[in-house]
Copies of this chain bind each other. A is one copy, B any other.
Amino acid sequence: MILGAASRLLAESSTGDVSTRAVCDAAGVAQPTLYRLFGDKDGLLAAVVDAGFERYLASKRALAPTGDPAADLRDGWDNHVAFALSSPHLYRLMFVPGLGTEPAAVKEMHTLLRRTVDRCATAGLLRVPAGAATQIVMSANTGLALSLVTHPGLFPELSLSALVRDIVLAGVLTGADPAPVHSGADEATAIAAITLAAILRTAPPAALTDGETGLLLEWADRLAATHLAAPAVGATGVRRTQLSPSTSTSHSLSQGDNLS
């Protein structure tokens, strides 16, 4: 069970790397055995990547296509991010190859996404060509997941993924509003609050005391952020993915998030 030991050690590793010796020790074999079975350390890691990708595709198949391809697209995004967060090291191995080694599995994922996009297209939901939409969603999705994985400190917002997702999908699909869903007067209110908050922050007015400015700022922030918690694209029939309870759409910004 060399492969299992490698996967386990990788997941437990703090640096995201494993030594062939450690893998062999954990598996109870000598090094040449590993090298005969996998040929190379890269071969071993490729096998680990393949196994991880098998798991990823399994979770992908669990999200069977529904009648709502736009919702499927959204669930696919969430599922992808959840997988990345669940095994960061493995994700980095899968999507940040050593510059030259392209795991074939990535292309398979690309075609999988393409299928969902095509279903959107045949339903008349696409406003950009299917190929462009696929690349846009794919790069934005993996890119965001990589950012979340490699900069856990910089982007502590759990809802960031949902925000970017809704914006990107709204830019690709028809009939989908970008993340902030407000209408008419609400939109004007939100924008005014956002503008005021920015002005207060960069140039506090002399007419108000610091305490007053702070309180006003708090209210403005609250006004500006309310719409971020609203459900967005494809609001009907929201399904939860098994892996991502925390990245779902309806997650509000109640806890420590500071998006102001």
Residues of A participating in the B interface, judged by any CB pair closer than 8 Å:
14-16, 88-89, 92, 95-100, 102, 106-107, 110, 118, 121-124, 126-132, 135-136, 138-140, 142-148, 150-151, 153-155, 157, 160, 163-164, 166-168, 170-172, 174, 178-180, 187, 190-192, 194-195, 197-199, 201-202, 221, 224-225, 228, 258-260
Contact = CB atoms under 8 A, between A and B. Distances in A.
B221 A153 contact: no
Contact of A150 (B14, B99, B167, B170): B99
Contacts of A97: 150
B16 A121 contact: no
B198 A128 contact: no
Nearest to A187: B127
B194 A130 contact: yes
Contacts of A151: 95, 102, 106
A251 B130 CA distance: 20
Nearest to A143: B143
A14 B160 contact: no
Contacts of A201: 118, 130
Contacts of A118: 198, 201-202
A131 B202 CA distance: 13
Given A99-B16, A129-B197, A140-B164, A155 B135 contact: yes
Contacts of A107: 154
A32 B142 CA distance: 41
